[in-house]
Amino acid sequence: MHAPVFSEAYADDAPRPHYRELVERLEKLGTEELERRSRLVESTFRTLGITFAVTGREEGLERTWPMDLVPRIIPAAEWATIEAGLKQRVRALNLFLEDLYVGPQAALAEGVAPRWLVESADGYLRQAQGIEAPEGARCVVAGIDLIRDSEGVYRVLEDNLRVPSGISYVLENRVAMTRALPTAFANHDVRPVNHYGAMLLTALRSIAPPASSDPTVVVLTPGIANSAYFEHAFLARQMGVELVEGRDLVVEDHVLYMRTTRGLHRVDVVYSRVGDEFLDPVVFRADSLLGVPGLLTAYRAKNLTIANAVGNGAADDKAVYAYVPDMIRFFLAEEPILPNVTTYLPWNPQDMTLILDRLDELVVKPVAEAGGYGIVIGADADRQTLDRLRRTLLDNPRGYIAQETIQLSTHLSFVDGKLAERHIDLRPFVLTGSQMEVVPGGLTRVALPEGSLIVNSSQGGGSKDTWVLEV
């Protein structure tokens, strides 16, 4: 039997106060009407072409973005704590990265995180050493994944500091929701999210090189074949800026330009959705045409700003994640508002003993994978899998982490024609420019199969609109 699970909408079989009105409304509509509206949402998403690509499957396979009809509601006071916790965390992460790449590396010197561990993170880029980021804004867009444990405590599951995706779905979900449940939406005082484009543009312009008075911002995409191309185009449209590919850009005398029909046009800020190591073939020697030769040196010369900063992977490596609470204490002299999930590191001999001892109770994750790939949930694994895992851990202790199994909270959801509880998580988005802002809510992901803990859309996850209340 599993540990107790926290239900978001219900306590002791009665709706929690902030869910009372919504539950009443859903009951009043009835399942037949909910089913009708559910199909309406799906067909709208299909016509608008709001899809995601399923990776690891047949190439080019696209699915319509699945949105669950029941929104998640977060009361204002609860959100205030989350928001403060997110800002605190991202502030510390920015300071850590700044210290690492252009600072005295005080955190490494003081042993906040082991130097060798940070330097051996895949995303730590020696080529980015010494490159300054205006305003120290390195995690311009951060996606911090939160889960809620059986006590209802919000915990950070992982940090996404490179190219976190999903914000376009947050906005599209909201649009769809206001159409699908207009009365319920109108009866709640929900904080808006649709100004995200303006928020992002403001943040990006605020970190332009000092010399540019009216900075030109572009969104850099790997191209139409990329699984998140829809979001790249969406963001460019929302900000009213060009969506460019590497071949549209050229560097001359360490200044970046885009090729236009009226000549070369200077670019000041690149919001990059291209992986760091593809950005500049000169520096990374990547045999790839996605990037722009000379881009990194132009960035180093402070003739342009790249967001997110290059090399952020040093801080969102899953083994480095374990040290973020200590980073908060070190850089901010504060206690973390949002705790981590208890994490053990196999490279540490004491942790290794404990992990091997409790392998069938813990969750083991590779440090550099995303999208839920490579995760082993000990309690669900057979003997053979665990034996194999044991050997893998001993062979490559730096490559994995182990965490206590957390029963994600559940939320009322409309699945297969009826209302039922399903596990959820939350990815809020934090913007850092000259100021810091958190998008109210974020992307709530829901594991659609009953009992499943895997919320990733690539593995059968859906999503919910997330309502943060004004009061």
Partner 1 sequence: MLSRHAEDLYWTGRYIERAEDTARLLDVTYHGMLEWSDKDVPQAQRDLLEVLFLDETFDGDLSDTAAVTEFLVLDTDNPGSITAAVERARLNARGLRDRISSELWEAINTFYLDLRARDLRADIERQPYQVYRWVRNACQTVTGVAAETMPHDDGYRFLVMGRLLERAEMTCRLLDVRYHRLVDSGGAATAFNRWAALLKSVSAYEAYLKEYRAAVDPIKMLSFLLLSPNFPRSVRYCLRGTEEQLAELLEPDRLTDAQRLLGMVGAKVEYCDIDSLVNADLGGFLDELQRDISQVGVAIDRHFFHHATDLDLHFYISR
Partner 2 sequence: MMRLEIRYLTTFEYPQQVRDSHNVLRACPTTDDFQALLSYTLTTDPAARVLSHIDYWGTRLDVFGIRHPHDRLSVIADSTVETYPRPAPEPDASTDPYRDDAYRTEHREYLADSPHTIAGSSLGDRARQLVGDRAQAVAAVEALIDEVRRLLAYEPGTTYVGMNLDEVVKQGSGVCQDFAHTLISMARSAGIPARYVSGYLYAADQSLGRPPEEAEIEVQTHAWAEVAIPGWGWWAVDPTNREPVGEHHVKIGHGRDYDDVAPLQGVYHGPANHRLGVSVRISREQMSEYQSQQ
Distance CA 21, CA 14 (A): 12
Pick the binder of partner 2 from 9, 181, 239, 283 (CB under 8 A). Answer: 283
- Comparison of 69 and 201: residue with beta carbon closer to partner 1: 201
Q: Binding string, 246-275, against partner 2, x = CB under 8 A?
A: ----xxxxx---------------------
Contact status: 51 vs partner 2 (CB under 8 A): no
> Which alpha helices (DSSP H) does 139-261 contain, by range?
167-180, 182-186, 196-206, 229-239
Q: Hunting for tokens 């010399």 — which residue is that? A: 211
Q: What is the DSSP letter of 303?
A: S
Q: What does the alpha-carbon distance between residue 307 and residue 270 come to, in Å, rounded to a whole number?
A: 6
Stretch that binds partner 2, among 34-42, 82-90, 232-240, 277-285 (CB under 8 A): 277-285
User: How large is the angle between the packed helices 196-206 and 167-180, nearest 10 degrees?
Assistant: 160
Nearer to partner 1, 287 or 382 (CB): 287
- Contact status, residue 197 vs residue 235, Cβ threshold 8 Å: yes
First vs last C-alpha separation in the chain: 38
State the DSSP code for 126: G
224 touches partner 1 by CB under 8 A: yes
Task: Examine residue 116 and tell whether it contacts partner 2 (CB under 8 A).
Answer: yes
Which of 416, 452, 447, 442 has the alpha carbon at shortest distance from 39?
416
- Evaluate whether 422 touches 9 at the Cβ level (below 8 Å): no
Distance (Å, whole) CA 356 – CA 373: 21
Binding mask 271-300 for partner 1 (x = CB under 8 A): ----------x---x-x-x---x-------
DSSP 377-405: EGGG--HHHHHHHHHHHHH-GGGEEEEE-
Least spacing, CB of residue 129 vs partner 2, in Å:
4
Q: Which of 35, 78, 248, 360 binds partner 1 (CB under 8 A)?
A: 248
Taking the complex as a whole, how short is the minimal distance between the CB of residue 29 and partner 1, in angstroms? 32
261 is a contact residue toward partner 1 (CB under 8 A): yes
- Residue 242 binding partner 1, by CB under 8 A: yes
Q: Residue 366 corresponds to which amino acid?
A: P
Rounded to 5 degrees, φ, ψ at 187 are -80, -5
**213 sits near partner 1 (criterion: CB under 8 A):** no
Pull the structure tokens for residue 218: 């572009």
Q: Is 454 in the site for partner 1 (CB under 8 A)?
A: no
Report the partner that residue 151 touches, choosing among partner 1, partner 2, none (CB closer than 5 to 8 A by kind): none
Per CB under 8 A, 294 contacts partner 2: yes
218 or 455: CB nearest partner 1: 218
Q: What are phi and psi of 382, to 5 degrees?
A: -85, 170
Specify the residue, 75 or 293, whose C-beta has the smaller distance to partner 2: 293
Q: Between residues 126 and 262, which has the closer beta carbon with respect to partner 2?
A: 126
Tell me which of partner 2, partner 1, none is bound by residue 311, counting a contact when its beta carbon lies within the kind-specific cut-off of 5 to 8 angstroms: none
Site for partner 2 contains 345 (CB under 8 A): no
| DSSP-based three-state secondary structure for 440 | coil
Half-sphere exposure of 466 (CA within 13 A, CB side): 26
Least distance (Å) between residue 222 CB and partner 2: 18
CB of 297 to partner 2, least distance (A): 5
Residue 209 CB neighbours (<10 A): 17
**Does 126 help bind partner 2 (rule: CB under 8 A)?**
yes
Nearer to partner 2, 281 or 441 (CB): 281
- Nearer of residues 62 and 132 to partner 2, judged by Cβ: 132
DSSP label of 322? T
Q: Dihedral sign, CA of 415, 419, 425, 428?
A: positive
Shorter beta-carbon distance to partner 2: residue 13 or 253:
253
Question: What x/- string results for residues 199 through 228 when contact with partner 2 is judged by CB under 8 A?
Answer: ------------------------------
The DSSP symbol for 134 reads G
Is 130 one of the binding residues for partner 2 (CB under 8 A)? yes
Listed ranges 38-46, 60-68, 232-240, 425-433: which one lies at the site for partner 1 (CB under 8 A): 232-240
Binding partner selected for residue 127 from partner 2, partner 1, none, CB under the kind-specific 5 to 8 Å limit? partner 2
Nearest-angstrom CA–CA distance, 348 and 117: 11
Min dist CB 182 to partner 2, Å, is 54
Q: What is the helix (H) or strand (E) element at residue 428, kind and residue range?
A: none
Task: Give the integer Cα–Cα distance in Å for 291 and 250.
Answer: 10
Which parts of this chain interact with partner 1 (CB under 8 A)?
A: 223-224, 233, 236-237, 242-245, 247-248, 250, 258-261, 281, 285, 287, 289, 293
Which parts of this chain interact with partner 2 (CB under 8 A)?
A: 114, 116, 119-120, 126-127, 129-130, 250-254, 281-283, 285, 293-294, 297, 300-301
